[in-house]
């Protein structure tokens, strides 16, 4: 998500996802990683230095690629849940696209839709 816009009323130039409700049951560590990636990758240079952000996002992707077995299955299920919720709530298209492409973009493989 490279749009330099405030999606949820945060600081100017900071890219953020909408708040994801606890009731969805999505793993909190996945949410933390996704919010970090959106902030690092989508915020303006006034908020984040591009080279440092790119390096951090690359490490996050590397760690996510280590997921296997039940952890990977859980992540895929959580992503499917998030995509469905985002569509139902009519979130901005760039957010839905980010969620839909997340696993493939980070070398983890696409969701099972």
pLDDT in tens, 24-57: 999 999 999 999 999 999 999 988 999 999 999 9
Distance CA 93, CA 113 (A): 17
Contacts of 23 (CB under 8 A, 6+ apart): none
pTM: 0.82
């Amino acid at each position: 998500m490279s749009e330099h816009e405030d999606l949820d009323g945060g600081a100017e130039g900071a890219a953020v996802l909408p708040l994801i409700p606890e009731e969805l049951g999505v793993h909190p560590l996945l949410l933390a990683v996704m919010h970090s990636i959106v902030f690092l990758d989508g915020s303006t240079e006034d908020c984040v230095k591009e080279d440092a952000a790119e390096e951090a996002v690359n490490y996050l992707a590397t760690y996510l690629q280590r997921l296997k077995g039940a952890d990977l299955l859980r992540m895929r299920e959580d992503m499917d849940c998030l995509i469905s919720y985002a569509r139902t709530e009519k979130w901005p298209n760039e957010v839905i696209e980010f969620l839909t492409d997340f696993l493939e973009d980070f070398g983890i493989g696409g969701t099972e839709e």
